[in-house]
Chain A
Amino acid sequence: DAGVTQSPTHLIKTRGQQVTLRCSPKSGHDTVSWYQQALGQGPQFIFQYYEEEERQRGNFPDRFSGHQFPNYSSELNVNALLLGDSALYLCASRLQGVTNYGYTFGSGTRLTVV
């Protein structure tokens, strides 16, 4: 049973460009959350998707947007990249309504903005 898969694993982009990161949730999970983890820090919540809608959002600018597809997979888009967007981006999935089992995390996409 595959867990959460993310692609690509590493990415280098130039300041001002746009990037799309992808995530397939664990089989049976329908809720996907995205986190940004800067070096040496804990993950920061970006947003959560369920039933193809953004349900919650953290303190991130509108440059960060997402999408969830009917098969529950998800994309994270970041426009007008800044150097400060360099981080590990983690996707996490769970089953909606089951908040006390924690999340299953992917291995992340390492984004470097130069």
Chain B
Amino acid sequence: GDSVTQMEGPVTLSEEAFLTINCTYTATGYPSLFWYVQYPGEGLQLLLKATKADDKGSNKGFEATYRKETTSFHLEKGSVQVSDSAVYFCAVNTNAGKSTFGDGTTLTVKP
């Protein structure tokens, strides 16, 4: 079945540092790839997506590129803020529409 492996956390950075959270996946067919963010006590919010190879998803300064050859979808941000502190989930959707999530990476940004 489908699976997603995320970089283990937690990750702690200083404000304005560069962020990378690694994500690799296993899926059949031509999946769509997503990053979701979860703030404390809330549900998941879609952060960005990419639907085909070499697509770059971006939102709020975050970016991720769909790399089919390495089956990866790493999340990056050039300069993190305290408000970016949250749990980040990588997910894969197959044509059947079911989403498979990674275990999440907790990011803490210190002033």
Contact = CB atoms under 8 A, between A and B. Distances in A.
Interface of A: 4, 31, 33, 35, 40-45, 48, 56, 58, 90, 92, 94, 96, 99-108
A44 B69 CA distance: 27
A108 B97 CA distance: 20
A92 B103 CA distance: 18
Taking chain A's interface residues, is the majority helix, strand, or loop, or is none over half, making it mixed? mixed
Given A4-B43, A44-B101, 8 more contacts: A40-B103, A42-B4, A43-B99, A56-B97, A99-B95, A100-B51, A100-B93, A107-B43
Contacts of A101: 49
Contacts of B97: 31, 48, 56, 94, 96, 99
A59 to B, nearest CB: 9
B44 interface: yes
A56 B98 contact: yes
A101 B104 CA distance: 20
A108 B34 contact: no
Interface residues of B, number: 26
Contact of A99 (B32, B43, B46): B32
Interface string B88-111: 010101111111111110000000
Nearest to B104: A42
Contacts, number: 68
Interface string B75-91: 00000000000000101
Interface string B50-79: 010000000000000000000000000000
Given A42-B101, A100-B32, A56 B43 contact: no
B45 interface: yes
11 contacts: A33-B99, A42-B101, A42-B104, A43-B99, A58-B98, A92-B99, A96-B97, A99-B93, A99-B95, A103-B99, A107-B42
A41 B44 contact: no
Contact of B103 (A41, A96, A100, A105): A41
Contacts of B36: 102, 105
